[in-house]
């Protein structure tokens, strides 16, 4: 398995964070007070939902090769 990397930087006096993934994507995180990005707990749930959905779609496509794209 390849190593996954991320760089996180704090901006200003609040809790606004910018994350740059190893694949070159940028995500913004913030607290409810700043509200300029997703909360870290929301991103955790997003990651779980994304992994689950990709696994299910992959399994369905293997079982039914003619399955149309989503």
Q: What is the pLDDT along the chain (70 residues), one digit of tens a residue?
A: 789 999 999 999 999 999 999 999 999 999 999 999 999 999 999 999 999 999 998 888 888 877 676 6
pTM: 0.76
Give the other-Cβ count within 10 Å of 29's Cβ: 19
Are 8 and 19 in contact by the 8 Å Cβ rule? The answer is yes
| Distant-in-sequence, close-in-space partners of 16: CB < 8 Å, separation ≥ 6 | 10, 28, 29, 30, 34, 36, 37
Angle subtended at Cα 50 by Cα 4 and Cα 35, rounded to the nearest 5 degrees: 85
CA distance 14 to 37: 12
Query: Distance of alpha carbon 61 from its chain centroid, rounded?
Result: 23
């Amino acid at each position: 398995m390849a190593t996954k990397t991320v760089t996180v930087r704090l901006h200003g006096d609040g809790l606004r964070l910018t994350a740059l993934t190893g694949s070159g994507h940028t995500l913004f995180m913030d607290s409810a007070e700043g509200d300029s990005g997703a909360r870290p707990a929301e991103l955790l749930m997003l990651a779980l939902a994304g992994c689950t959905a990709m696994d299910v779609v992959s399994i369905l496509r293997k079982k039914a090769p003619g399955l149309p794209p989503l």
